[in-house]
Each structure stands twice: as structure tokens, then as C-alpha cells.
Amino acid sequence: MKKTISLAMAAALAVSGAATTVPVFADDVTNITIWSPTDRESIEAWWKEKISEWNEEHPEIQVSREAIDRSDSYAYDNKIATAVTSNDLPDIFYVDGPQVSYYAANGITVPLDDYFTDEDKADFVKSSMTQNTYDGKLYAVGATESSVAFYYNKDYLKECGVDTDDLDSRTLENPLTTDEVAEIAEKCTTDDYVGTHIIMDHGEGLPYALEPLYLSAGKDYISEDGKEADGYVNSEEAVNTTAWLADLIAKGYANVEPITDEFLNGACATMIGGSWEIATLEQNADFDWGVTYYPVNAETKKAVSPCGDWAAAISKDCENADAAGEFLAWLMNTDNVASYAAAIAKPATRSSAYETEAMAEYKEGARALIVDQLENTAVPRPRTPSYATFSAAYAEAMTNIFSDAASNEEADTDYIQSEFDTVVDTFTEDYETYYAE
Amino acid sequence: MAKAEKKKLSGRKRDERVAAYIFVAPAVILLIAFLVVPMIYTVYFSGFKYQIMRPDAMKFIGLENYQKLFSDKNFWLALKNTVYFTVIVVPCQCVLALALALLVSKKFRGVAVFRTMYFAPQLTSMVVISVLWSVLYNANPNTGLINSILVSLGMSPIKFLSDASTAMNSIIFMSAWQGAGYQMMIFLAGLQGIPRDQYEAASVDGATKFKQFLYITIPGLKGTIKYVIMITMIQAMKLFTQPYIMTQGGPKNSTKTLVYYIYTQGFQKGNFGYACSIAAVFFVIVVCMSMAMKKVTAATD
């Protein structure tokens, strides 16, 4: 089997024209395979470059990567799940932040503490370390972080009479409130524009992008110990927060079925969007735009922002974890983290990376705002082994709530409550069936 | 002499038998590997509490999954949606297919173009078609083609896929459109099997076109109709791709079908044992429906 894999790899290398003569016999070589989601061209190129760089220097540890499609849903997670049942997991695979606990609790991934020094660990931002730690052990390491902020089309907002200088001047001390967001959305909704945009990907995007609204209102989705959803996601605070969102849909200030890149295409005036949008907008937007901090609850005014990104983990099926660990430690060194972050246009996880040339852009403007959020207000998603179940149930509930609001043209708090009670039941059943002691 | 001949004959017979087995073997091996073994596994796993990530922590719980299944309102809802889809889509699709087949069975200039056009949706992957129709059906008149037409005609836009009352019907419509081409081809083959002289004799006797259709075409297609209804029904029961791509089972579970439910339980929520028990029950339902169907059509002979 090993030989066949080596042969196949050799053949693949020869075909791609990247083959270098490696004077080592197949049996002495450790082959490491990596799975990660298919990404934009710059990242695919980054992977190619880094892997050939490593393979040239380490003839005894040969690395190859397979790009797996994610398609804005749970397709990648399904691939991992099937690989677990058939014992076909690769040596290293990428995991989305909140899934780290799920895989760790089920013994699918192994601890990485031996491969990273304390000095290394201290260099990573806290939000990333917290998300990737389960039960006191480090289970995944990621090169980038993510955040969500409030984007606005300056040209259009000015037309609608919104004071964009005021928006530009907002800081973490006086961010926009949900009331102000609704007000702007109302002002800017016309036949050609909707006032704002809510991420509607029917997958992890919903719980990820919206969590700060709940935290700002005072209640997270799940208790801090990851065991309880009752009294959290179905709390009064959560229902009111969701009613506020559903109201935006009901009044037609946001689309229940937004088109792709709605903001970029000039079809919505503002959006609650990911940090990755900055690069897209810089390259493609034909209008003047701005970005400010994630909106806060109008009453509590507590600033919170999302975080968490994909991170690499070593699977239980990896035969040579030390070799995989050695590779990971190299892959996540300061220079590689910096060049990866620059290529993917996301903030880096290592503080030292910001001192490199590649990250120079993060010192000011929109990117600095994202780093500011990450350092000061970022809260990782709940760390619970039942996260996968929670995420799917929450996304389903939100989709139902939004379509209910769109059909009835009003937000129905009783319906929201009943949907969230269902989420609680689903979560509790899963947690109690598989994880409760 | 006679004895030797007999021996030789039986030798040939044996060879024939061996050859027959060899010819059948690939199909049987594939059937066993991809149908029988998974089926046995499905029934086996349905007796376990089995989290997909923890194959090592499987626990035998007997019929508990089945007990849970019968009191699971989502299962009944998914069954109801699946049956609704089947009951509506099968007649619509078959009638549409027969009508198309009758249209293109005539010989006229460019008939091949029409045949190809009607069959074309079949050649495209269901995933692509679902994505395409999601855009056609989009609720926003600036994006959705159908709604932009409705609005330009002075009507108000319809939330095809984001309203629980229209989502399933929207899926039924596009499914019938996509599937009819295939059944049309089968009907076309059936139509060509009906002897021409029957129609000639009928028209000499003064039978109208409609009467010819009723008394010659329909009886002539009896076997084909039965076959088409049966495969369409089985296909319809397995509805998955459209709700998976277009609606994710929503809104408000209105497009959650049995196969989609099996998928969410097994893969999204990781309840693999429970998903297997739904799959086993689903199998029994489909077999029963097919058998009932066969009984009904046999009675009409």
C-alpha cells in the first residue's frame, strides 16, 4: 500500500514537472498527506510552493496535499466523517475552529503540545489558542484568524443622507449600535437597494457571523462548560436578538435570498461581512466603501467580535505523528504564517508575523481595525463536543425563522422561541447520548 | 458409442453452465459488493448506538432506534413530504413525457432537434440544474428571472423557495421538467413498437385521432406505461439533490425528504445508527410500494 502510494506520488510529481530526483528508497520515506478546503488561486499557489520547498529539503518526509471542496455548506465535514468510518483519514487535515473540540472529544485528532514550544504558543493570539485547545491540550494550529465587521457603501449612504464621516470616526469605545444599524438600513432601502446584508450560507456562516449579537445581548449559544444549551440559545435575550434580525428581513431591509457578493455588486447598502471581504472589495469595488466595528447591542453596548478560522490537526490514523508534527511546526513558523496570511488576505495568528514585510498592510486602515477587534473583543465559538449538531440545528432554525419572517412580513417571537427550543432539544439529546458522564 | 456421445454432451452442457456463471459473475459480484453487503451493514448498524466519529464506542441497543423512529415527528414529516412529492410528480412527469413523445413521434423537419432539446436536461447533472433553478426561482425580482417576468407583467413576486407553501411545488415543477425527457425516450421506443396498420385500419373505419389514441396508443403502450410509472416512482421516493442544493430541507421542513433526513441524521448530526434504522425502514417502504404498484397494474391486465 505504502509503495503504491509512493509510486502514485512519484508519477504525479513527474507529470506536474516538479519532480526532483530523490535518491531515497521508497520504504525509508514517510509520506504525509494533507486535506484542506479548496481555496482561491493565491492560496493554492502558496501550498504548491511551500510543499515543494519542504519536499526538496526533506527527502525523508514527503508531503502532498489534496484540496477538498467546501461549497459553503457541510460538504467538507461530511468528507471527514466518511473517512473516519472507513479509516481513510489523511495524516493532517484542516478543521474549522469550533469543530476542533468535536474531533478532539471523539479522539479523531491527537494533541500537538509536543511539537510547539511554550515560546511558540505565547506568540499565537489568544483567541486562536483558546479555540484550538480542548481539555487543556492543543489539538490544532492555524495560521490565520478571521473577524466580521460592518461594511458600508459610502457613495450610496451619502446619497441617502447618512453621515458617513460619523461612521468612519467610530472606535471600539463608541461602536454602532443595533438601533443605528436598523436606522441606516431603513433609510437606504429602495427598489434597487436593500439596506443591509446578513450572511445566509445555510451552514456554519450563520452561527459564526451572528454570535457577537447574542453575546452583546448577554447570552452565548451554549454555557461556558459546553454542556448546556437550555437557558442560553433559547433565552429571552437570544429570542430578542433573533427577532431584531428577523425584523430586518420582514421589513425588507435585508434579503432572505441574497445574491452572491450582494454588497460588491451594489445591491445592498451595508453588510455584516467577514474580514476576507476587504481584499475582494479593494480589488473589485467600483464605489467608495468603509468598514467599522461589529455593531453592539443597543442596551448593553458591549463590544464583541467573532473569530476562529481553519486550523491544521493531526489525525488518529497518522502512522508517523512525529514526522507530521515536525512538518506542522515548520508550516506554522513566523515566515510561513505571514506569507500564508498575506496570500489569503486574513489576519495572521502569530504576533511576530506582523513585524514581517508581508504583513505591513495590517498597520493601518481596514486591516488594522480587524486586528484591533481580534486583540480586544474576539470571543471564540462555544467549545463543546456537540458543536456540529448545534451548528446544524441553529442554521436550520435561523433559515426557518427568516423565511417565516419574509412570508408573514413580521418577526414572530413565539415562533422564534419554539424553533430555539427545538435547537435546545437537539443539542441536549446529542450531548447526553454521546458525551455526558 | 452412444455412451461416449452422452458423456460428450454433458461435458458441453457443463461448459455452458460454467460460461454462464462467468458471464453473470461481474454483475453478481458488483451487486453483492455495492448493494447486498451495504444493506446487511445498514440493518446491522441500525441495532447500535453509533456516533459516526466513534466507531470504537458502538453500543448494541436492540430495537431502540426503531422505537425512537416511530415516535419521531420529523420522520413522519419527511415521509409525508416524500409521499406528497411522489404522488404529484409521478403523474405530472409521466403525462408530460407521453405528450412530448407523441409530439416528437411524428415525422417532420427538425424533429431530431426537438427530441434532443427535450432530452437535454437529462444530460445535465442534477446539481447544476438545481443551482440554475435556484437562480430562476430567486425571490428578488432583480435576480430571479421568473420573478422579474412576473413583476414586469404587473404581478407581485413569489417567494418560490423561501416560502413553505410554495417550496415543494417549485421543486416538483423543475423535477418534472428535468425528468420528463428520459421517460419521453422510453415512450418513444414504445410508440414505435405499435404497428402502423392498426392506425390505418382505424382511420379507414372512421375513428377520430382521439379515439385512435385511446384505443390503440394507450393499450399498445401498456407495458411501457407500467415500467415508466414504476421507475419514476422509485426515483421520486429517493428525492435528495434538489432539496439539498435548493432549500436545505426548509423552509420550515417543507422540503425535508426521507433521504435528506437520513443524510442530516447520519452525517450532519453523526447519529449513524439511527440513520441506518431510517434507511432500513425506507427500504421496506419502497419495496412495499413497488409491490403494491405491481399488484395494481397486474390487476388491470
Is there a contact between B162 and A257 if contact means CB atoms under 8 Å apart?
yes
Which domains does chain B possess?
74-299 (1.10.3720.10)
Q: Is there a contact between B168 and B84 (Cβ–Cβ < 8 Å)?
A: yes
CB-based contact, A86 to chain B, within 8 Å? no
Q: Which of A108, A257, A259 sits opposite B53 (nearest CB)?
A: A108
Q: Is there a contact between B178 and B121 (Cβ–Cβ < 8 Å)?
A: yes
Q: Is there a contact between A347 and A362 (Cβ–Cβ < 8 Å)?
A: yes
C-alpha cell at A133: 485547545
CB-based contact, A388 to chain B, within 8 Å? yes
| pLDDT confidence tier of residue A22, bands split at 50, 70 and 90 | very low
Mean pLDDT of B109-114: 88
Q: Is there a contact between B240 and B259 (Cβ–Cβ < 8 Å)?
A: yes
| pLDDT confidence tier of residue B7, bands split at 50, 70 and 90 | low
- Say what the pLDDT of residue A28 is: 80
Q: Which of residues 261-290 of A touch B (CB under 8 A)?
A: 267
CA atoms within 13 A on the CB side of B57: 13
CB-based contact, A43 to chain B, within 8 Å? no
The Cα–Cα gap between A222 and A384 comes to 8
C-alpha cell at A399: 433559515
* Residue B55 to chain A, least CA–CA distance (Å): 7
Which SS3 state, helix, strand or coil, does residue B194 take? coil
Mean pLDDT of B171-197: 93
Is there a contact between B264 and A392 if contact means CB atoms under 8 Å apart?
yes
The Cα–Cα gap between A32 and A41 comes to 23
Is there a contact between A392 and B164 if contact means CB atoms under 8 Å apart?
no
Mean pLDDT of A251-262: 88
Higher pLDDT, A82 or B32: B32
Nearest to B67 by CA among B285, B278, B286: B278
Least confidently predicted of A233-237, A378-382, B246-250: B246-250
Mean pLDDT of A11-32: 56
C-alpha cell at A154: 459610502
Mean pLDDT of A261-288: 92
| pLDDT confidence tier of residue B110, bands split at 50, 70 and 90 | confident
CB-based contact, A422 to chain B, within 8 Å? no
Q: Does the structure show a pLDDT above 50 at A16?
A: no
Q: Does the structure show a pLDDT above 90 at B239?
A: yes
Higher pLDDT, B6 or A298: A298
CB-based contact, A78 to chain B, within 8 Å? yes
Q: Is there a contact between A357 and A335 (Cβ–Cβ < 8 Å)?
A: no
Instruction: List chain B residues with CB under 8 Å of A399.
Output: 248, 250-251
Instruction: List chain B residues with CB under 8 Å of A316.
Output: none
The Cα–Cα gap between A112 and A96 comes to 16
